[in-house]
Amino acid sequence: MALSSATTTRVAVAVDIDDRKTVEQSLKDAERRKDEFLAALAHELRNPLAPMRNAVAILGRKGPLDPEVAWSRGVMERQIDQLSRLIDDLLDIERIARGRFELRTERVPLELVVDMALESSRPQINASGHHLSVLLPAERVHVEADPHRLAQVLATLLRNAVKHMPERGSISLSATVESREVVVSVGDDGVGFEREAEPGIGLQLVRGILSLHRGRLEAKSDGRGRGSEFIVRLPIAAGEPAAAQMPQRRQAAEGQVSLRVLVADDNRDAADSLQRVLVLFGHEVRVAYDGSSALELGQKFRPRVAVLDIGMPGTDGYEVARTFRRKLGSEVKLVPLTGWGQEADRRRALEAGFDHHLTKPVDPGTLNDLLLMVLDPRN
């Protein structure tokens, strides 16, 4: 019997990867352009918001107002806050999507996070005349979390309840322990919804932050006009509780000696309105409208704090900061107040010699708290 000889066939396949590389590079370029667009958009939106917030703060410190003026001021204040949060949320969502969102986690009691959330959302709740009830577990519950980001989650849910409810409604915040989870519920008797709530910018950010904490969000409603409930589930931290202290807001002492503050911003409305606000807080303030004038004024005025815009024509805020640091040393505290709020912008500010980093529009009370830190000998 004859045996047939085996034949081996080799097939060579050539794949042209140039097209794939071109597509990948195009996607990277598109992502980069989107990042640049969002950062530029946030910057341009923050700039006009800064003088608006300062002007509203001035109205609020000028004593009793006509009821209509007071109502109008409250509307402007709330809407400016809302726009500011939307800008920050947009950038945070982008950071989460790209894996650049940083958490500073620590072991914290849940009640601390709730108190922080209530502090930031209570003005909106009170302004709408809502009744708020809070019920926390009798035992202290700890979570492993970034307290500020987790407070942001709860504050967003509380403000969401305010937004979707007529005046003088009811909001509840309660927390229970189920197995190794803490379950926080934010409920209201507002407009409700038929299906899963449409994920707006705020809820998208909430879900993103919770996922980074190994938590999740659930939304419930019995239908239109029957209220809604948002449920946050988080793992309980293991081990023994750690001591925690409530953050204390700095207050100016009675008879506080004022600080010499230099404000530099080429947006005259922003600079002038900030000067007026800081004067109302009792500080001595000088204003410059460009970097060169800021340097000249700084040598004469010898400020204790310099609040500098970054994008000034000619000599920008970074160069002003570097020059102040060389010539005035630690005598001056440097604070950028800018529309650029990306993490890279923060790093660049610190490298230029700034001590802090604030994005427009800043709450004038928050800025004053920061100024008062200068009076602390530990700073």
Last residue of a domain, one of 188, 213, 235: 235
CA distance 266 to 310: 9
Asked if the structure places residue 12 within a domain, the reply is no
> Same domain, yes or no, for 226 and 252?
no
CA distance 224 to 191: 6
> Same domain, yes or no, for 142 and 228?
yes
Q: Which residue has the tokens 């097209």?
A: 19
Residue 239 is predicted with a pLDDT of 66
Give the number of other Cβ atoms within 10 Å of residue 122's Cβ: 14
* Statement: residue 298 has pLDDT above 50: yes
Q: Which residues contact 322 (CB under 8 A, 6 or more apart)?
A: 352, 353
Q: What is the mean pLDDT of residues 335-363?
A: 82
Residue 31 is predicted with a pLDDT of 64
> Same domain, yes or no, for 72 and 57?
yes
Query: Which of residues 354 and 90 earns the better pLDDT score?
Result: 354
Q: What is the mean pLDDT of residues 176-184?
A: 92
Query: Could you write out the DSSP letters of every residue in 23-49?
Result: HHHHHHHHHHHHHHHHHHHHHHHHHHH
CA distance 169 to 131: 6
Structure tokens at 91: 């950038």
Residue 3 is predicted with a pLDDT of 47
> pLDDT tens digits for 222-232?
777 788 899 99
Asked if the structure places residue 27 within a domain, the reply is no
Structure tokens at 264: 């530099």
Q: Whole domain around residue 121: which residue ranges? A: 106-235
> Same domain, yes or no, for 327 and 221?
no
Residue 62 is predicted with a pLDDT of 73
> Same domain, yes or no, for 290 and 373?
yes
Range in 108-112, 199-203, 258-262 the model is least confident about:
199-203
* Statement: residue 345 has pLDDT above 80: no
* Statement: residue 72 has pLDDT above 90: no
Q: What's the domain count of the chain? A: 2
Structure tokens at 369: 């708290």
Asked if the structure places residue 24 within a domain, the reply is no
> Same domain, yes or no, for 276 and 198?
no
> Same domain, yes or no, for 195 and 283?
no
CA distance 175 to 38: 36
Mean pLDDT of the chain: 80
Query: Strands across the sheet with 333-338, in order?
Result: 284-288, 260-264, 305-308, 333-338, 358-359
> Same domain, yes or no, for 230 and 142?
yes
Residue 142 is predicted with a pLDDT of 93
Would you say 204 and 217 are in contact if contact means Cβ atoms under 8 Å apart?
no
Classify the C-alpha dihedral 48-54-58-61 as positive or negative: positive
* Statement: residue 90 has pLDDT above 90: no
> Same domain, yes or no, for 48 and 122?
no
Asked if the structure places residue 139 within a domain, the reply is yes
Query: Could you write out the DSSP letters of every residue in 226-264?
Result: S-EEEEEEEEPPPSS-----------PPTTPPPPEEEEE
Asked if the structure places residue 23 within a domain, the reply is no
Query: Which of residues 12 and 18 earns the better pLDDT score?
Result: 18
Backbone angles phi, psi at 317, to 5 degrees: -65, -35
* Statement: residue 334 has pLDDT above 90: yes
> pLDDT tens digits for 123-162?
888 888 888 888 888 788 999 998 888 988 999 999 888 8
Q: In CATH, what number is assigned to the domain containing residue 347?
A: 3.40.50.2300
In this prediction, residue 1 has a pLDDT band, given cuts at 50, 70 and 90, of: very low
Range in 16-20, 71-75, 94-98, 259-263 the model is least confident about:
16-20
Would you say 338 and 255 are in contact if contact means Cβ atoms under 8 Å apart?
no
Query: Could you write out the DSSP letters of every residue in 163-187?
Result: HTS-SS-EEEEEEEEETTEEEEEEE
> Same domain, yes or no, for 87 and 56?
yes
Residue 138 is predicted with a pLDDT of 79
Q: In CATH, what number is assigned to the domain containing residue 208?
A: 3.30.565.10
* Statement: residue 285 has pLDDT above 90: yes
> Same domain, yes or no, for 142 and 63?
no
Structure tokens at 26: 């195009």
Q: What is the pTM of this model?
A: 0.52
> Same domain, yes or no, for 113 and 221?
yes
CA distance 328 to 308: 15
